[in-house]
A and B are shown apart, each in its own frame.
Chain A
Amino acid sequence: MVLFSEMFFSELIRVPVIDKVEQPIGKVKDVILVLGDQFPRITGLLIKTHENKIKVLTIGEIDLVGTQFVSTQSTKDRLVLSNLRDEDLLLRRDILDKQIVDTDGARVVRVNDLKLAKVGNDVRLIAADVGFKGMLRRLGIEKLVIFIMRLFKIKVPETLIGWNHVEPLAAELAKGRITIPHKRVNELHPADIADIISHVHTDERRAIFASLSDKTAAESLHELEPKIQAMLLLTVDTKKALGILNKMPVDEAADVLGDIPEEKTEELLRHMRPKKAEEIREILKHPEETAIGLMTTEFIKIPKNLTSEETIQKLREMAPDAETIYYLYVVDEKDKLVGVLSLRMLIVTAPNTKISDIMVKKVITVDPDANQRQLADVISKYNLLAVPVVDNEGRVEGIVTVDDVIDFILPPMSRRKRHMLG
């Protein structure tokens, strides 16, 4: 098949199809493609014949493709037309006008037009037009508007996104028939993924979320607003949910579990490691807004009689579990908090220094029932990354990290939310 360099899908639609000797056959209705390559290959055209039948003209039968006509290699009576199969993917039906993820800009955009080009011996889908120009072209007023705008010296920008930077949304592609690994989405920053998830519709949310690795899913989940968190966690199966929860620090896991029905929370907790489940249960007992509800119990606690060398050794053993290792909390024999040590201090001192000599003895702490506002105030006032929650006897119950109260310090826009009415 020969394509004159490149063309837009909108220029191909409704173009007449003729045979070798210029006998009319029908009109172009849609374009069939296979995903998989970076730039999907076109395998045929869907045409509406003059007998009002919808048929597939495979690429091997086509001679020329242009904006004026499409011609076939053989004559009409020799032409072999096939039927559309259920698993076929169509440009117009499944991709055009739908939402796609622009993985470069990490945003969700709508496809206004699609660009096809000759690549080697194949015709491939190379770019999506998501801009104003594509919209005008579809409406058939591109030249007119651009002419008018030129009179006013306004330039209409090109807004093509290469297909290698695009991820179609799985749910769009005809419900469940085709599954796309959201490979490119998976590589984005979790905060960007959360942003994308909050911008797409329910089905796509599930599809994208289900395709994420447990670790990425856990990190993205934390960025979303509670309602969406709960919805997503309920849509994945128990095994996946457990995998995700395992990758979350206890406080975040508790945060999510607090928003889903109790029966489900119980079921998930039963399947978790008993120690982690116990910690989550402890947090869930308290109102979410207080220090004890927000804190994590995964922090580093060291006895005061250790040297810095021993401490570093101990840190290596414990680090994988702790949410933050920048602060080490020093306790006495009765488990009472006596000081705090920063990772920096620990590393720069000589190996056999006693940590009780270098620790900061005056520790900023909060009560278990401190609210979010108070926590935010303390954390921002003293520029802390985390603050320990201390009970009446001076024992550390857990720590509240800065990310748990960041929404109170920064304007509330940081939690990704799709603002609409209602």
Chain B
Amino acid sequence: MKISKRLRRFILLLAIIGPGIITATAGNDAGGTATYSIVGAHFGYNLLWLLMLTTFILIIVQEMVARMGAVTGKGLSDLIREQFGIRWTFIAMSILLVANIAVTVSEFAGIAASLEIFNVSKYISVPIVAFLIWYLIVRGSFKNVERIFLGVCLIYVSYLFAGFLAKPDWITAFKHTVVPTIRFEPEYIRIMIALVGTTVTPWMQFFLQSNIVEKGISLKQYKYQRLDTIFGSISAGVIAFFIIIACAATLHKAGIHIGSAEEAGLALKPLAGNFASYLFALGLFGASTLGASILPLSSSYAICEAFGFENGISKKFREAPIFYFLYTALILFGAGVILLPKISLIFVMLLAQEVNGILLPFILIFIVLLVNNKRLMGPYVNSRWYNFVVWATTALLISLTLILITLPILSKF
């Protein structure tokens, strides 16, 4: 009981800090790792400017969502349902479901790819890990395991060292960070969509807002929360930056085209030598498993809350059948797709991020309309330049998608 005031405040700070950092860490999942590695390996430093821009967008979007959680005390899917009615909710939830299925598949791809580096066949690893995740969460003992995986994700910090040790061309890297390079080639446009889509994902917004609400963060504590959100976004950006740099300085320089996770792991060679692949695999495994556990669960929560179905792992199967059905189906589907023979794991991971990038703007529209609702947010609505950033992002992503669709048609003329 006798805890000094300062210590108490510090504990409070620690209790609040978290949602932003957890969300951002989980954001560097299988798909993120694959995308950043491919960005660096295939396009060198060319896309660093977009990463900068995306990190900035990430901060803006996460801050908006966190603010909405603190002001309204409600989750994003609740708000969509209450403000837009059931039809729009149906559309929003369908979008979220498609995006989340894609990400879940990519997380299992990450699990399969990382364990293949340790010579474990995917036909063994994927079913076992899928079952363990399902079981641990249904049993409710996931909380402890979650911390372990979060810890494993710290392996990604090794990219910081690898980036430096690879002796990248800092001048070129800096130039590309500030000067945009745009090429109208399908592959380039696709990687642009994937880069934005993996950094700012639809599921993260739902997850973050629920987390804020769940922690009961009030407006008074919000200034700490804001720091957490910004810090989390920036650290996610920094790690992505160094993954790209490390891959650009090693793989791109050597002309290696990433076709498997093992090749992506070679970027850590300047740091870990022959153990590079193993280090990479361990980090990828941690991040993918964390993602594969969070995604099916958070999707089921979001959808059940929006439609008012009973939900929660504290409920029995008979009390919340739809919740458990969704949750189980997502894991089964995600793991099932990976078990198809001859599927390219890296391709699946990248494709999932493209799907996210294509669907993100629609979720952003819901978010920005909600956050500007005066009845809901009172004085905490967006400022004008916030709105500008979000609408510009939405426009950018939609036009990239349109360009991607029309490019093959245009090139025929």
When chains A and B are docked, how far (Å) is the Cα of A422 from the Cα of B19?
A: 7
Chain B residue with Cβ nearest A293: B1
Q: How far is the CB of B204 from chain A (nearest CB, A)?
A: 12
Can you name 7 A-B residue pairings with CB atoms under 8 Å?
A: A112-B308, A138-B87, A202-B73, A203-B72, A261-B8, A421-B207, A422-B210
Closest to A174 in B: B375
A350 at the interface (CB under 8 A from B): no
CA of A421 to CA of B143, assembled, Å? 9
Interface of A is mostly: loop
The residue on A at minimum CB distance from B74 is: A201
Residues of A within 8 A of B297 (CB): 421
CB of B73 within 8 A of CB of A422, answer: no
A99 to B90, CA, bound (A): 17
Chain B 196-237 interface residues, beta-carbon cutoff 8 Å to A: 207, 210-211, 213-216, 218
Query: Is B22 interfacial (CB-CB < 8 Å)?
Result: yes
A29 to chain B, nearest CB (A): 12
1-58 of chain B: CB within 8 A of chain A: 1, 5, 8, 18-19, 22
Chain B positions within 8 Å of A, measured between CB atoms, are: 1, 5, 8, 18-19, 22, 72-74, 78, 81-82, 85-87, 89-90, 140, 207, 210-211, 213-216, 218, 294, 297-298, 301, 307-308, 312-314, 375
Q: State in angstroms the CA–CA spacing of A287 and B207 once bound together.
A: 35
Residue from the list B1, B19, B298, B308 in contact with A258, Cβ < 8 A: B1
8 Å CB contact of B22 from A203, A227, A422: A422
- Indicate whether A262 sits within 8 Å of B5 (C-beta atoms), given known contacts A109-B308, A138-B86: yes
Task: Give the CA-CA distance A262 to B2 in the complex, in Å.
Answer: 9
Q: Is the CB of B298 within 8 A of A421?
A: yes
Q: How far is the CA of A420 from the CA of B298 in the complex (A)?
A: 8
Are A417 and B73 neighbours in the complex by a CB distance under 8 Å? no
Most buried by B among A96, A110, A135, A420: A420
The residues of A that contact B312 with a CB separation of less than 8 Å are 418-420
Collect the chain A residues with CB atoms within 8 Å of residue B214's CB.
Answer: 418, 420-422
**Chain B: minimal CB distance from A98 (Å):** 6
Query: Contacts A419-B140, A419-B313; is A139 near B301 (CB within 8 Å)?
Result: no
Query: How far is the CB of B225 from the nearest CB of chain A, in Å?
Result: 13
Chain B residues with CB below 8 A from A287, complex form: 1
Cβ–Cβ contact B314 & A419, under 8 A: yes
On chain A, the residues within 8 Å of B140 by CB distance are 419
Residue among B90, B216, B218 making CB contact with A228, cutoff 8 Å: B216
Judge if A148 is at the interface, Cβ distance under 8 Å. Answer: no
Q: Is the CB of A112 within 8 A of B86?
A: yes
Query: Within 8 Å of chain B (Cβ to Cβ): is A210?
Result: no
The 3 closest A-B pairs by CB, nearest first: A110-B308, A202-B73, A422-B211
| Residues on B with beta carbons closer than 8 Å to the beta carbon of A227 | 216
Interface string of A225-237 (1 = CB under 8 A from B): 0011001000000
B residues in contact with A258, CB < 8 Å: 1
B interface footprint on A277-301 (CB within 8 Å = 1, 0 otherwise):
0000000111110000000000000
Contacts of B211 in A (CB 8 A): 420-422
Residue from A139, A201, A288, A422 in contact with B215 in the complex, judged by beta carbons closer than 8 Å: A422
Assess the A285–B1 pair: CB atoms within 8 A. Answer: yes
A123 near B: Cβ within 8 Å? no
Residues of chain A within 8 A of B90, CB atoms compared = 139
With A97-B86, A202-B213 as known contacts, state yes or no: A421 contacts B294, CB within 8 Å: yes
Closest chain A CB from B64 CB (angstroms) = 18
1/0 per position for A85-127, CB-CB distance to B under 8 A? 0000000100011110000000001101000000000000000
Say how far B366's CB is from chain A's closest CB, in angstroms. 14
Residues of B within 8 A of A245 (CB): none
| Any B CB within 8 A of the CB of A413 | yes
Q: Which residues of the other chain, A, contact B301 by a CB distance below 8 angstroms?
A: 420-421
- Tell me whether A110 and B1 are in contact (CB under 8 A): no
